[in-house]
Structure 1
């Protein structure tokens, strides 16, 4: 894993400016995306858009995870006349139904149509000899949300904005092709060894076929799976998906990145999230998030989809911030006309021990560290400082902040005599 923590600001800005000028020159104009579901046989879409690979050119090294219809492995692919490359190999499990096979292959039919540095690259497929496989480029650092949680606090704000810029560039490319992702989230963005972020996981993606108030729109069927925390209000209320709903999701992804992979809306239920969003409440800025970035998020979360910026405008906004790093300094949060949510306080009414407190906080993984330090009463917990928590061995900044904030809440309750010690 390569993490460049000392990237020169000027060089990064120049690189991003260069990419903004070359990535979207499409000879002959934009070629619109073709939905593989429109094919009677999904394998026909695969034949049209994906290259068949000789399985003897692939060497599987190890299984690295599970997929919906099989397993994912890391491997090496040596095509004729080209150098060997690291690849990820999705293998369809034995005994999969025809329907599952069709869904599995449709991903290749989607990916094979895209060619952009911020969209996962399809190397090819194996369909003529079992087991069937989909081969993509290998992304060393895995999903963006997990990568950020594992490396909390290790990046500058400018580097985080650079990652967001990459995702935005990939989404602009897709939206230009009349393509709506419907599941844009940090978990569905992959990161390579150079910190390049690429949009992936197109399981819910669709072609925008119809018009709704002159906006290209995909209308989901009743009962369709919807990732509520990342979904725009018109999508979870009326099943209307468009580039504007992807922009809303991009705003949530921005929040995830700036919070180093924190869960959007914390422990709120899906029903609570939908009600809060419908009531115009929005997520507050993550800790140390520059107001300028939170302002961009709020633009993405406009209630009326026509009021949201397009990906072109979002990229322009991010580019301006990158070229003027002083604008990314964390300042005191300015007053906001939009009502903002706050994390739900921990219910301390049934908390009587340190273990119960940690469990309520979902920090019980640190039980041994608390035991080792003889922090065995709620009174001692309530007096914890950031330095104390660091000395316990809690290294993730987000966990440090969560524990200290909860300790302060506990101290307030103890002072009021609401919790026995």
Structure 2
């Protein structure tokens, strides 16, 4: 028996040399007579490590540790966040790895505790936030408790495999693209290349003047269940009357808990989830009397509900085309125009571009109160310009030419759309460029054509429309100026009851 145990000890030490520290600790002088090997055979057999770490072969890869992990048995390897590992083999939910720092010990680590270096940052996940958009990053950095100098790194939305650095600079957020060259090096500027994100951050933390934005502390994510404060069970809502529908789904008048009248926007298509998330985030963060107020959401399961305050007269375009809408006076139309300008001035102050400003997205209440809605396309701007790409549907006849042709949006492209909205208001809901296709509309606009003055329109209002439709975006007025001009006209315009 002693001979057999000695041969077993020799066999284990020879074929599992990478567990030398284990053997030395538990079997320093060979296998004692009274020691059973049953527990060793059971543990080692469960995961069956068979690779020699001294010769990992071409299939091995360099990984980084995302979280601390304490071994639970002899097969497993205790690691700390930031450790570098050579992964020898992947086995289901585990990887067999050799630690590169300290003793070159080999063992198993849960696969979700590690990440391949060069694919995701691993040493300091506190500053890396995956799966968030540029818009969400900006909202997060501008929210409490973050402050000037807060920063994060996120995945690039437009360039797969690359990253973006987002930094709060006082009341604004600046975004920097982190490029990756063919060799895997990362850089903001080609003259300063780095092998990983940690080195890049370390450099710009010291040399922050290069990007004119100090990197003072990683972004802090709120741990509170903010979504739960808005999320309500679908059973609390009853649908009464369909008010309208569009490509997203339907809008219904309904009742919340049988007591509160509400409007319920139902998004039926699964592929509209991104638009839903953007609209919800904007409704949560933007608060103004001329913007529709969010009350609740139902995002668990299908269909998705966005629940807002009820505006009983529906959207402005439909209302203007109704019998009641046709009876509105010029003074009423001016009031509507002023209210929308007031809401858009607030969005301008928040540096938010709506991108879909039109009468169909203005909601009307019983007292002719108007509120801006449909924030699914709204975006926070970088500097003064936002560029998009893809095959998203664009409402061409309401869209500024630079946005329709080049997908370049700005607050001034919203000003163009506001001019079209004024045309809708003073024509009682007439569609702009009637009889023209989208392509014909763009061709005519680029040649200098502008919509004619509506019959029921003050010359001063039409002059404002033309200012909104200046070919050069910089020549168009701001919403602050538009609001002042419209309020001034509203004050001197004849009142219907005077």
Q: Same fold (TM over 0.5)?
A: yes
Following TM superposition, by how much is the alpha carbon of 1:293 offset from its aligned partner in structure 2, in angstroms? Answer: 0.7
Deviations 1:266-317 (A, max 9, x none): 1111122111111122111101311011011111111111111100000000
In structure 1, what is the equivalent of residue 443 of structure 2? 275
| Native 8 Å contact 2:276 2:376 kept in 1 | no
In 2, Cα distance between the equivalents of 1:178 and 1:221?
21
In 1, Cα distance between the equivalents of 2:223 and 2:374?
18
Following TM superposition, by how much is the alpha carbon of 1:70 offset from its aligned partner in structure 2, in angstroms? Answer: 4.2
Following TM superposition, by how much is the alpha carbon of 1:235 offset from its aligned partner in structure 2, in angstroms? Answer: 1.4
Following TM superposition, by how much is the alpha carbon of 1:47 offset from its aligned partner in structure 2, in angstroms? Answer: 5.9
Following TM superposition, by how much is the alpha carbon of 1:128 offset from its aligned partner in structure 2, in angstroms? Answer: 4.6
Deviations 1:167-192 (A, max 9, x none): 11111111211111111111111111
| Native 8 Å contact 1:36 1:45 kept in 2 | no
In structure 1, what is the equivalent of residue 276 of structure 2? 104
2:422 matched to 1:243?
Answer: no
| Native 8 Å contact 2:278 2:378 kept in 1 | no
Distance 1:318 1:92, change over 3 A: closer
In 1, Cα distance between the equivalents of 2:402 and 2:481?
21
2:288 matched to 1:113?
Answer: no
Q: Give the 5 Å matches for 1:362-401.
A: none
| Bigger CA radius of gyration | 2
| Native 8 Å contact 1:77 1:86 kept in 2 | yes
| Native 8 Å contact 1:46 1:105 kept in 2 | no
In 1, Cα distance between the equivalents of 2:377 and 2:223?
17
Q: Unpaired segments of 5 or more residues in structure 2?
A: 1-132, 141-153, 156-221
Following TM superposition, by how much is the alpha carbon of 1:72 offset from its aligned partner in structure 2, in angstroms? Answer: 3.0
In 2, Cα distance between the equivalents of 1:164 and 1:46?
40
Deviations 1:94-141 (A, max 9, x none): xx54x4334334322221212111111110112357654221111111
User: Equivalent residue of 1:90, what SS?
Assistant: strand
Residue 189 of structure 1 is aligned with which of 354, 362, 380? 362
In 2, Cα distance between the equivalents of 1:162 and 1:117?
15
| Native 8 Å contact 1:45 1:109 kept in 2 | no
| Native 8 Å contact 1:184 1:250 kept in 2 | yes
In 1, Cα distance between the equivalents of 2:420 and 2:243?
28
Higher strand share: 2
Deviations 1:311-345 (A, max 9, x none): 000000011101111599xxxxxxxxxxxxxxxxx
In structure 1, what is the equivalent of residue 396 of structure 2? 228
In 2, Cα distance between the equivalents of 1:291 and 1:259?
14
Following TM superposition, by how much is the alpha carbon of 1:46 offset from its aligned partner in structure 2, in angstroms? Answer: 12
> What is the aligned-residue RMSD (CA, Å)?
3.0
Distance 1:177 1:48, change over 3 A: farther
| Native 8 Å contact 1:45 1:106 kept in 2 | no
| Native 8 Å contact 1:69 1:104 kept in 2 | no
In structure 1, what is the equivalent of residue 315 of structure 2? 143
In structure 2, what is the equivalent of residue 35 of structure 1? 135
In structure 1, what is the equivalent of residue 426 of structure 2? 258
Residue 89 of structure 1 is aligned with which of 264, 269, 287? 264
Higher helix share: 1
In structure 2, what is the equivalent of residue 16 of structure 1? none
Residue 377 of structure 2 is aligned with which of 204, 208, 215? 204
Q: Give the 5 Å matches for 1:261-410.
A: 261-326=429-494
Distance 1:46 1:74, change over 3 A: farther
In 1, Cα distance between the equivalents of 2:224 and 2:242?
24
In structure 2, what is the equivalent of residue 348 of structure 1? none
Q: Unpaired segments of 5 or more residues in structure 1?
A: 1-32, 329-421
Distance 1:272 1:109, change over 3 A: same
User: Equivalent residue of 1:267, what SS?
Assistant: coil
Q: Give the 5 Å matches for 1:46-85.
A: 48=226, 51-78=230-257, 84-85=259-260
Following TM superposition, by how much is the alpha carbon of 1:69 offset from its aligned partner in structure 2, in angstroms? Answer: 4.7
In structure 1, what is the equivalent of residue 115 of structure 2? none
Q: Which has the higher contact order (CA 8 A, sep 6+)?
A: 1
Following TM superposition, by how much is the alpha carbon of 1:63 offset from its aligned partner in structure 2, in angstroms? Answer: 3.8
